[in-house]
Structure 1
Amino acid sequence: MGVDGGLADPTLRAELATEKNTYSSKKKKRRQKKPTSTPSAVQRLFETCKEVFAHGGRGFIPSADDVERLRSVLDTLKLTDVGVSPNLPFFHHVVTDGPPPVTYLHLYACSNFSIGIFCLPQAAVIPLHNHPGMTVVSKLLFGSMHIKSYDWVNDPEGSNEKIKSSNGACLAKVNTDAIFKAPCETSVLYPTTGGNMHCFTAVTSCAVLDVLGPPYNDDEGRACSYYKEYVFSSFPGKAIGVSGESKEYAWLEERESKPDDLVVRGAEYRGPKIVGR
């Protein structure tokens, strides 16, 4: 029996039609059941920042639970998650007369928070600077970095004013003075505690991801200030009542402008994109 003759049989035609419809239905269901893609690590970081800093503003401090949630996301973040490699050219300083330049990769910024990566070749320095009214969460992605940080010391008489020297420098207490090597814990600093003024020095080439909440904004009183550092003994007798050894303290004098030896260049971020920004 030929094919055409067979298809002429009404019973056979009905059976074939049923099989065809069943096959088409299964195929359609397979198309509809596409697995949901897992968000990238960068996307998870972005979504967490949106929630943690949803009510952000100058001096806003996220709850301890929210800080820990953001910290846990960054603790699992790897260099490959942000599409950065130690082989990139801006981690290898070509010897020149000037200082090694720092490269900044911009991931995201809004009025409540910003995300970016600082890339430092060996010996590059981000000088001592502050983060006024800001909470900053930092993750060392690779390499070794020396971090020195300070918090202001207030007048022990309870005036809530900084202790000043004869030349206007203010007294600060060391919070951190150590070398960190990746992988290490994510660090957090707050508007008045945790080492709000800090300096980064690249022991080896390294990269650090910063989340700032809220970000710098001159119009809202969050301009970045840089400082000169003087040893405690530079102005004797000006800090009566402070506790601890003198090496735990220093006098910080605000610079009039950004240090001339700081060179920061922007470069395009080529890692996973942030969706819904």
Structure 2
Amino acid sequence: MGIEPGYSDKIATEIEKTTTNRSKSSRKNRRRNRKMAAVQTLFNVCKEVFADGGVGFIPCPDDVERLRSILNSLTQDDVGLSPELPYFRPIRIGNSRAPIITYLHLYECDKFSIGIFCLPPSGVLPLHNHPGMTVFSKLLFGTMHIKSYDWVEGDPYTTAVSENAPPARLAKLTVNEDFVAPCNTSILYPAAGGNMHCFTAMTACAVLDVLGPPYSDPDGRHCTYYREYPFDRFSADGISGLEQEKDRLAWLQDREKPRSLTVFGASYRGPRIVDG
């Protein structure tokens, strides 16, 4: 996903002050309630579910439901977040029209990762893929538009976009709607469920993602971004039986990471995950 290392000193100091005050309050609340933190429960189950995981791994239906159930019950308070935090202010860099997005890292190993994307209003995670992954996404708060695609089944239909440019491949729309928290967890699979998706924040939003396995450039699991073209933009020669679905079809072309996308990493300050 291309996470930048951190914020400017001014922004970081403001976040530090705000989150430190919230952390003190959270510690008081935790002393009152010593039951296992929800994120620790999530971690424990992820460790079991993805123990034998790898590229293309899909958990069994019972394990999918276990994770879905835990994530469905997860709230912003369980991870120490609220829309009032500086992460959710529409801060921009230079002349960029897109606000900064923040990524809070909770945990990562070679089997799975847990993290939270914090999107200010109008923040966008552009259309991108999840190669060989099963992904659980829980909208903790806010209203978000999600648009997702899967590749059309069978022989990959491709078309030339322009000379010396990557070809575009045909994909079918899976989801194209607004989600309002609280809502059920979204799940995508290596070849189904909307493996390529785009998030657009209508309001301040926080999304907790569980990826199994996580992105890994050394292992060939790169995050690929896409340009989207309408089905009618190019010739459909050789394509039969799909014309009646053309409103749900689009051509997707590989592209470089959009220059407008800036994702900064920040320290997670919610309940701690203990591995061991």
The verdict on a shared fold, with TM-score over 0.5 as the criterion, is yes
Q: Which amino acid aligns with 2:241?
A: G
Q: Deviations over 1:92-148 (max 9, x none)?
A: 114662110100000000000000000000001000000000000000000000000
5+ unaligned residues in a row in structure 1: which ranges? 1-35, 156-160
In structure 1, what is the equivalent of residue 247 of structure 2? Answer: 247
Distance 2:44 2:220 in 1: 27
1:165 equivalent in alignment to 2:159: yes
Distance 1:233 1:110 in 2: 43
Q: Which amino acid aligns with 1:132?
A: P
Q: Quickly say closer, same or farther: Cα 1:48–1:237, change in 2 above 3 A.
A: same
Matches within 5 A, 1:55-70: 55-70=52-67
Q: Which amino acid aligns with 1:253?
A: Q
* CA shift for structure 1 position 241: 2.5
1:218 alignment partner, SS class: coil
Distance 2:73 2:122 in 1: 27
Q: Which amino acid aligns with 2:36?
A: P
Distance 1:89 1:106 in 2: 17
Q: Contact 1:101–1:264 at 8 Å: present in 2 too?
A: yes
* CA shift for structure 1 position 217: 0.8
In structure 1, what is the equivalent of residue 89 of structure 2? Answer: 92
Identity within the alignment, %: 59
How many residues align? The count is 236
Q: Contact 1:43–1:275 at 8 Å: present in 2 too?
A: yes
Q: Which amino acid aligns with 1:246?
A: K
In structure 1, what is the equivalent of residue 263 of structure 2? Answer: 264
Q: Which amino acid aligns with 1:215?
A: P
Q: Which amino acid aligns with 1:248?
A: R
In structure 2, what is the equivalent of residue 49 of structure 1? Answer: 46
Q: Contact 1:162–1:171 at 8 Å: present in 2 too?
A: yes
Higher RCO (Cα < 8 Å, 6 or more apart): 2
What RMSD over aligned residues (CA atoms) do the two structures have, in Å? Answer: 1.4
Q: Which amino acid aligns with 2:179?
A: F
Distance 2:110 2:149 in 1: 26
Matches within 5 A, 1:144-159: 144-155=143-154
5+ unaligned residues in a row in structure 2: which ranges? 1-32, 162-166
In structure 1, what is the equivalent of residue 18 of structure 2? Answer: none
Runs of 4+ in structure 1 off by over 6 angstroms are none
Q: Contact 1:120–1:207 at 8 Å: present in 2 too?
A: yes
Distance 1:166 1:109 in 2: 38
Q: Contact 2:140–2:182 at 8 Å: present in 1 too?
A: yes
Q: TM-score, normalised by structure 2?
A: 0.83
